[in-house]
Amino acid sequence: MMIEGTSGAPGICIGKAYLVDTEGVDVVEKYYIGRDALADELIRFKAAVKETRDELLEIIRNTPEELHQSSYILETHVALLGDKMLYGRAIEIIEKQHVNAEWALKTAISVIKTMFQDITDDYLKERKGDIIHVANRIMTKLVGVESVNIAEIDKRVILVASDLSPAQTSQIQLERIKGFITDRGGKTSHTSIIARSLEIPAVLGLDNATDMIATDDIIIVDGTTGKVIIHPDEETLVYYEERRNQFESHKAVLVRGSRQPAATADGLRLQIMGNIELPEEVVSVIDNGGEGIGLYRTEFEYLNSPGFPNEDELFEKYKDVVEVMDPRPVTIRTLDINGDKSVPYATDRYELNPALGLRAIRYCLKKPDVFETQLRAILRASAFGNVRVLIPMISCCSEIDQARLILDKAAESLEKEGIPFNRDISVGIMIEVPSAVIMADRMAEKVDFFSIGTNDLIQYSLAIDRGNREVSHLFQPLHPAILRMIGHVADVAGEKGIDVNMCGEMAGDPLYIPIILGLGIKELSMNPQSIPLVKSVIRSLKKSDLEFFIKEALTQASPMDIEVLIQHNFGGILSERAYP
Ligand code: PEP
Ligand code: MG
């Protein structure tokens, strides 16, 4: 049986599935309850429901006035706790089948999922989601855990989950987890970005993998094409083992070639750097031929910590990265939490639209202490190598001014304490909100460089939630509006004499390379694993061919037309180098 989703990270893995079921509750066991213990089991189930109700009511009570509109969802959830389909059925199953409460609840959930399976009405589909959400809350109470600890899984398995948060994904132990697949998520969700960093195959957005796969089932994950095969026959296994070997040898050839500098066949020199989420990934950037760190996403040090890390902890991490990379540049991006990377201890309000909420620089300006601590750590690290500071999600000029004030304050305090740092540190901003594209000329006067974050630029310009599978078909890097915006930013940076770099996932996909270079971007930063392939594509292109091609591409009206044009001009080069 084969199911298809979105390719999260390339590569093939074959192995036993390990189900991380029901939003974080591990595999549910079934056991029988003797007649004498039946009453106690019912009490245990009812107590879990009561605990869930109390918890929901507490959340509603604490919902601030201005967000009361959203608490109606939670009120619906409270009402659903007594629902016949859920509560009634679970009780009935315990009583009639003499099974444990977890198993009864799981069975009730399966029945609900089956009942709603073929329903296309959006409203009813959402109701199904609500019931399951409520059921999952009860389940966590019954099992007594809040969520499964991914770091503690000690088998060589492939994870199968409804969803994995970026924090959970970053806890994956590489020596144990071969790959993972999820029902939700899209190509540029932070979960799939981390999968690519970990270099493990991943397929996301499979919709119902958790319903179709059981723990210990043999599955094949083809992260390159986004396919998952369940219970493969002998012939299929042999075929995929062969493909896995081809993938590994193709990768080895590309990696060997990646030591050479990136330049087009007619001599246009480019700079190719790596994106990292954790300091340990520096090695991977160097091994894959990266010429620096174009984006160090620093939020994972906060996501994986019980509270805000202190200045010394941050400084030690940054210093390690800077020293290893020296004299190559290290671009440290300041904290970009919230959105899809919420940190429990830093989030004190429920946000209805977190992607449009108190994310990134907005959070940092609201919490200047947290920001200043990080800036001091970055400045201190700048004494040990070539450091640049990058500020995310800038949407107006005053945010740059305010951020600079706090940076100056951090610098002054270091100065007073006699602690060394680079006084001329380069300061750049992420261009990932449409207003920043439009204001690029004025913003360029305030900073030393731009870094185009296409993941968010596409999300915010095309109004497409980057993690939502339902609209992932509309997440189009080749949308003419996106190309025009990138072209505009590159032109402005050229006129104002500042550097411009691209660090979104688009930069690491060979298909987009002719467009990106054609638009005048000469510095790219990507997942380290993408560097060898991208460099190899660059070496086959000619600057002179790109000039004519980009003019034609910019006259097109649709992403499809632009893709056809790319394939027509460069299809041969791209397919020769693509992973098998
Ligand atoms: C982006 O938005 O393109 C980007 C590089 O930042 P992140 O993916 O961390 O939001
Ligand atoms: Mg971003």
Whole-number Å distance, alpha carbon 453 to ligand 2 midpoint, is 5
Q: What's the Cα-to-Cα distance from 442 to each of 137, 438, 445, 456, 572, rounded to whole Å?
A: 49, 9, 5, 21, 41
Q: Cis ω on the peptide bond leading into residue 64 (within 30° of 0)?
A: no
Edge-to-edge strands of the sheet including 6-9?
Answer: 2-4, 227-230, 218-222, 12-20, 157-161, 177-182, 202-204, 6-9
Q: How many other β-carbons are positioned within 10 Å of the β-carbon of residue 99?
A: 18
Alpha-carbon distance 163 to 204, whole Å? 9
Taking residues 349-367, report their average pLDDT: 90
Question: Over 60: is that where the pLDDT of 24 sits?
Answer: no
Ligand 1 pocket residue status of 509, Cβ below 6 Å? no
How large is the average pLDDT for residues 392-398? 98
- Give yes or no for residue 454 CB within 6 A of ligand 1: yes
For tokens 């989950």, the residue is 161
Pick the atom of ligand 1 nearest to 455's CA.
3
Q: Pick the atom of ligand 1 nearest to 336's CA.
A: 9
269 Cα: distance to centroid of ligand 1 (angstroms): 25
Which comes out higher in pLDDT, residue 86 or 388? 388
> In ligand 1, which atom is closest to the CA atom of 451?
5
**Residue 36: predicted pLDDT:** 87
Give distance in angstroms: CA of 454 to centre of ligand 1. 7
Give me ligand 2 centre to Cα 380, in Å: 25
Any ligand 1 atom below 6 A from CB of 432? yes
> How remote is the CA of residue 505 from the centroid of ligand 2, in Å?
10
Q: Whose CA is nearest to atom 9 of ligand 1?
A: 297
> Token pair for residue 218?
């043999």
Beta bridge partners of 7: 203
Ligand found nearest the CA of 451: 1
* Phi, psi dihedrals of residue 499, rounded to the nearest 5°: -75, 150
Which amino acid does the sequence have at 66?
A: E
Identify whether 396 is a catalytic site residue: no
479 in catalytic set: no
Report the sign of the C-alpha dihedral through residues 215, 221, 227, 229, in that order.
negative
Mean predicted confidence (pLDDT) in 149-153: 74
Is ligand 1 within 6 A of the CB of residue 455? yes
Tell me: the pLDDT tens digits for 163-221? 877 767 777 887 889 999 998 877 777 778 878 888 899 999 998 898 889 889 999 99
- Ligand 1 pocket residue status of 191, Cβ below 6 Å: no
Residue 72 pLDDT: 64
Taking the centre of ligand 1 as the mean of its atom positions, its distance from the CA of residue 543, in whole angstroms, is: 27
Q: Could you identify the residue written with the tokens 């210093």? A: 319
Tokens for 120? 């296309």
Q: Compute the C-alpha angle 523/529/532, nearest 5°.
A: 65
pLDDT at 129: 65
Q: What is the DSSP string of 330-384?
A: EEEEPP--BTTB--GGG--S--SSGGGSS-HHHHHHH-HHHHHHHHHHHHHHGGG
Structural tokens at position 509: 């996909």
CA of 543 to the centre of ligand 2 (A): 29
**Best mutation site among 192, 297, 299 for ligand 1, i.e. most ligand atoms within 8 A of its Cβ?**
297
Q: Which ligand is nearest to the CA of 190?
A: 1
Percent pLDDT > 90 in the chain is 63
pLDDT higher than threshold 90 for residue 21: no
Q: What is residue 514's predicted lDDT score, i.e. its pLDDT?
A: 97
The pair of three-digit structure tokens given for residue 65, joined into one six-digit string: 């006035």
Q: What is the DSSP letter of 280?
A: G
pLDDT value of position 22 = 45
CB 297 within 8 A of CB 321: no
Q: Is the CB of 166 under 6 A from ligand 1?
A: no
Please determine, for residue 497, whether its predicted confidence score (pLDDT) is greater than 80. yes
Question: Atom 6 in ligand 1: which residue has the minimum CA distance?
Answer: 453
Query: Who wins on pLDDT, 112 or 398?
Result: 398
Question: Do 318 and 381 form a contact (C-beta atoms < 8 A)?
Answer: yes
- 261 or 22, greater pLDDT: 261
Helix (H) or strand (E) holding 123: helix 122-143
User: Which carries the bigger pLDDT value, residue 5 or residue 74?
Assistant: 5
Question: Of 11, 187, 207, whose CA–CA distance to 116 is shortest?
Answer: 207
Pocket of ligand 1, candidates 191, 277, 334, 336: which has the most ligand atoms within 8 Å of its Cβ, to mutate?
A: 336
Tokens matching residue 530: 């993408």
Q: Do 400 and 429 contact (CB within 8 A), yes or no? A: yes
Residue 536 predicted with pLDDT over 70: yes
Q: What is the DSSP letter of 84?
A: I
Residue 327: asked if its preceding bond is cis (omega within 30°), the reply is yes
Q: pLDDT tens across 133-146, in order?
A: 778 778 878 876 55
* Strand pairing report for 12-20 and 293-297: unpaired
Percentages of the chain per state (helix, strand, coil), in multiples of 5: 55, 15, 30
| Annotated active-site residue in 190, 364, 397, 488 | 190
